[in-house]
């Protein structure tokens, strides 16, 4: 029988390896930026075109490579950082697998220009799909420039799985943030489609955070510092009042490498216990320094998950350090049994001189002497004769009769009714009896049996179709705010809001001013509370960044879904009888009452026969 097992050709093996290393353009950005940092660069420039699908270029002023190293760098398992297996547990660098450049070159057109400081000329290497097209001498500055063009040109199936430019650009920006935050001592510049998006000079850690996320971030940060034999912690956590509904601004760095850890994230959450509103998440930017021998980085292809030797100790130290910082800066309440708060000086009297009160006494005053008077400034006292007590009851009978007559004509004012969350223009007929179950489901009777409706999903469907209709017909009704509402966002978030401005205005939002990092809202859609505006826009930004569907869905549809998700009545909210029935009627007046905007079931039915079977 013939042999059927054979070795894969190199170019096929490289494409398979590329599937682990390069998942999207952001993966290329991460690998190239980390290589530039390992090369000792202090200035790095990132250039992106068409969300990285057309071009990803990283230019650095690092040490560069020789003519031979430039060629070897594109071979699989070629690295300058590892010599033996023990080195895997002493890593102080980023790239160490020797697969990044080989994998990228297997699925793209790559041009490498590099020169060392003591060389007069450098090397230019062009590779297309693992095939070396040319290698020649070229005049280039000291350092390295890597251009990756036409990603996945030879794997069209992988290219078709890429998301829209907005989503892919967001992933690139996330990777850029992770690298830039870990290295404030390096200057970074980011160009997107020819325009400068970020220009981050060399700075300290706090300035780097502010330069990336906006000047308003400075007032949100609480410093965290802790040094132990096991772990050194430095960085910042966000104040509880600035917590968001999304987990965007949460960064852990272990030995200057970004990681994701649900376990350590839980330590932060427990430190904020009792300080955050339900459903919100605090931001943090924390650098953890540990002995490289106590961690294993090589457990995940993207190297964003690592394994610690003693996670329990790290958890306890991290939780205590964050809790201590929140208490130290008066963010969290503290208990001090040695201090009596009743002895604290009121704020209004702090810094003022104490004065001894003066008391004047009239020693000649006699309260039992008729007609006695005092000095000026003191009231006189006159005793009424005891014989006049009968005059107290004169006219009491007539007054009581008059009061009875007045009370017989009392008209009570009608109590002010709280605002209902639904339109009360239409009176809901009491046809079907409804019942709210666990403040989550609405149970109603139908001819064949019983109807159970998920109130949150049902209200999402109702609001979604209303918003979609208003935006399509451009007839959104707005209510003016008494005072403008100013909201602050980062630069990339402002780009998204600017793109969606027209659709937001069609729903009823009115903006008086849109600046680089803030917007002024002077009008909101009817029925939208002012307190919900920032939540709606945060949710909208998050949905646009992470959940934008393919091109056949419009931005209008996404906006309607996002607003419906934010404004729909939540699970746990008590509804009155008329509100329950109104919701049922509005749901079945929709075009697609069966599913929510996210294609989840809104109601189920149970026939009498099915109920009968339960009792057999």
Mean pLDDT, residues 435-440 taken together: 88
* Residue 552's pLDDT band (cuts 50, 70, 90): very low
Q: Does residue 30 sit within a domain?
A: yes
Asked whether residue 460 falls in the same domain as residue 587, the answer is: yes
Average pLDDT, rounded, for the chain: 81
Asked whether residue 275 falls in the same domain as residue 195, the answer is: no
- Judge whether 174 and 26 are in contact, CB under 8 Å: yes
CATH of the domain at 271: 3.30.230.10
**Residue 123 pLDDT:** 93
- The DSSP string of 333-351 is ----TT--GGGSPPGGGTT
* Residue 393's pLDDT band (cuts 50, 70, 90): low
Asked whether residue 453 falls in the same domain as residue 548, the answer is: yes
**What 8-state DSSP symbol labels residue 609?**
H
CATH of the domain at 561: 3.30.1370.100
Residue where one domain finishes, among candidates 274, 296, 328: 328
Q: Does residue 536 sit within a domain?
A: yes
- Strands 109-115 and 55-60 come out as unpaired
Asked whether residue 180 falls in the same domain as residue 222, the answer is: no
Nearest to 317 by CA among 248, 244, 251, 226: 226
For residues 382 and 571, what is the distance between their CA atoms, to the nearest angstrom?
A: 70
Mean pLDDT, residues 172-187 taken together: 93
- Judge whether 86 and 95 are in contact, CB under 8 Å: no
Q: Does residue 343 sit within a domain?
A: no
Q: In the predicted model, is pLDDT for residue 71 greater than 50?
A: yes
* Residue 401's pLDDT band (cuts 50, 70, 90): low
For residues 156 and 163, what is the distance between their CA atoms, to the nearest angstrom?
A: 14
Asked whether residue 67 falls in the same domain as residue 173, the answer is: yes
Q: Does residue 574 sit within a domain?
A: yes
For residues 224 and 190, what is the distance between their CA atoms, to the nearest angstrom?
A: 29
Q: Which of 345-354, 405-414, 478-487 has the lowest mean pLDDT?
A: 405-414
DSSP SS3 for 594: coil
For residue 449, give its domain range: 434-605
Residue 164's DSSP bridge partners are none
* Residue 482's pLDDT band (cuts 50, 70, 90): confident
Asked whether residue 317 falls in the same domain as residue 438, the answer is: no
State pLDDT tens for residues 114-131: 999 888 999 999 999 888
Which of the pair, 544 or 422, is modelled with greater confidence? Answer: 544
Q: Does residue 531 sit within a domain?
A: yes
Residue where one domain finishes, among candidates 202, 229, 259: 202
Mean pLDDT, residues 305-326 taken together: 88
Best-predicted range by mean pLDDT (127-136, 330-339, 378-387, 466-475):
127-136
Asked whether residue 251 falls in the same domain as residue 124, the answer is: no
Measure Cα distances from 272 to 243, 259, 311, 318, 323 in Å.
10, 21, 20, 12, 7
Asked whether residue 155 falls in the same domain as residue 232, the answer is: no
Asked whether residue 464 falls in the same domain as residue 556, the answer is: yes
Q: Does residue 63 sit within a domain?
A: yes
State pLDDT tens for residues 73-94: 888 766 665 555 555 555 556 6
Other Cβ atoms within 10 Å of 598 Cβ, number: 13
Contacts of 290 (CB under 8 A, 6+ apart): 230, 231, 232, 254, 255, 308, 314
What is the side-by-side strand order in the sheet with 257-259?
221-227, 232-238, 284-289, 250-254, 257-259
**Residue 399 pLDDT:** 54
Number of domains in the chain: 3
- Judge whether 116 and 65 are in contact, CB under 8 Å: yes
For residues 543 and 563, what is the distance between their CA atoms, to the nearest angstrom?
A: 10
Asked whether residue 217 falls in the same domain as residue 193, the answer is: no
- Judge whether 248 and 173 are in contact, CB under 8 Å: no
Q: Does residue 359 sit within a domain?
A: no
Mean pLDDT, residues 156-175 taken together: 86
Please state whether the predicted TM-score (pTM) of the whole model is above 0.85: no
Alpha carbon dihedral 198, 202, 203, 204, in 10-degree steps, equals: 110
Asked whether residue 181 falls in the same domain as residue 267, the answer is: no
**Residue 189 pLDDT:** 95
Asked whether residue 94 falls in the same domain as residue 238, the answer is: no
Residue where one domain finishes, among candidates 147, 178, 202: 202
CATH of the domain at 29: 3.30.565.10
* Residue 429's pLDDT band (cuts 50, 70, 90): very low
Mean pLDDT, residues 180-190 taken together: 94
State pLDDT tens for residues 467-476: 888 777 777 7
Q: Does residue 340 sit within a domain?
A: no
State pLDDT tens for residues 5-14: 878 777 666 6
């Amino acid at each position: 029988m013939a042999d059927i097992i054979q070795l894969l050709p190199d170019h096929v093996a490289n494409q398979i390896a590329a599937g682990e290393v390069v998942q999207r353009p952001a993966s290329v950005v991460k690998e190239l930026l980390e290589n530039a940092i390992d090369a000792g660069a202090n200035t790095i420039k990132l250039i992106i075109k068409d969300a990285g699908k057309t071009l990803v270029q990283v230019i650095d002023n690092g040490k560069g490579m020789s003519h031979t190293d430039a060629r070897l760098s594109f071979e699989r398992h070629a690295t300058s950082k590892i010599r033996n297996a023990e080195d895997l547990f002493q890593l102080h660098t980023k790239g160490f697998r020797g697969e990044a450049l080989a994998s990228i070159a297997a699925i793209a057109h790559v041009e490498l220009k590099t020169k060392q400081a003591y060389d007069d000329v450098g090397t230019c290497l062009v590779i297309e799909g693992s095939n070396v097209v040319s290698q020649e001498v070229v005049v280039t500055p000291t350092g390295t420039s890597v251009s990756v063009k036409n990603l996945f040109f030879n794997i069209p199936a992988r290219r078709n799985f890429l998301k829209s430019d907005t989503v892919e650009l967001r992933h690139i920006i996330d990777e850029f943030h992770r690298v830039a935050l870990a290295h404030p001592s390096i200057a970074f510049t980011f160009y997107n489609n020819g325009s400068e998006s970020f220009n981050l000079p060399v700075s300290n850690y706090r300035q780097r955070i502010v330069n990336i996320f906006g000047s308003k971030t400075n007032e949100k940060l609480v410093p965290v510092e802790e040094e132990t034999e096991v772990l050194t912690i430095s960085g910042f956590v966000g104040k509880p009042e600035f917590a968001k509904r999304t987990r965007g601004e949460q960064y852990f760095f272990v030995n200057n490498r970004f990681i994701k850890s649900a376990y350590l994230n839980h330590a932060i959450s427990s430190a904020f216990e009792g300080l955050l509103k339900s459903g919100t998440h605090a931001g943090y930017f924390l650098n953890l320094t540990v002995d490289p021998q106590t961690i294993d980085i090589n457990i995940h292809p993207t190297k964003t998950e690592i394994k610690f030797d003693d996670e329990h100790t790290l958890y306890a130290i991290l939780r205590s350090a964050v809790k201590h910082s929140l208490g130290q800066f008066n963010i969290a309440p503290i208990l001090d049994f040695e201090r009596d708060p009743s002895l604290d000086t009121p704020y209004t009297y702090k810094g003022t001189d104490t004065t001894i009160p003066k008391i004047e006494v009239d020693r000649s005053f006699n309260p039992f002497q008729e007609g006695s008077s005092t000095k000026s400034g003191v009231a006189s006292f006159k005793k009424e004769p005891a014989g006049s007590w009968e005059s107290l009851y004169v006219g009491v009978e007539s007054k009581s009769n008059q009061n009875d007559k007045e009370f017989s004509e009392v008209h009570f004012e009608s109590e002010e009714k709280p605002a209902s969350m639904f339109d009360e223009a239409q009176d809901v007929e009491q046809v079907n009896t409804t019942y709210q179950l666990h403040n989550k489901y609405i149970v109603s009777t139908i001819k064949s049996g019983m109807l159970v409706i998920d109130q949150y999903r049902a209200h999402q469907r109702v609001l979604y179709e209303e918003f979609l209709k208003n935006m399509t017909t451009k007839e959104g009704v707005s209510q003016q705010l008494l005072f403008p509402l100013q909201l602050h966002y980062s630069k990339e978030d402002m780009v998204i809001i600017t793109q969606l401005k027209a659709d937001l205005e069609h729903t009823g939002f009115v903006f008086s001013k849109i600046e680089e990092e803030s917007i002024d809202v002077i009008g909101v859609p009817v029925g939208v509370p002012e307190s919900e505006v920032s939540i709606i826009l945060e949710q909208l930004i998050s949905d646009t960044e992470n959940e934008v569907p393919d091109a056949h869905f419009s931005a209008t549809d996404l906006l309607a879904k996002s607003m419906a998700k934010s404004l729909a009545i939540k699970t746990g909210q008590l509804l009155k009888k008329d509100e329950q029935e109104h919701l049922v009627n509005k749901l079945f007046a929709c075009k697609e009452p069966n599913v929510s905007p996210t294609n989840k079931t809104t109601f189920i039915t149970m026939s009498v026969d099915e109920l009968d079977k339960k009792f057999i």
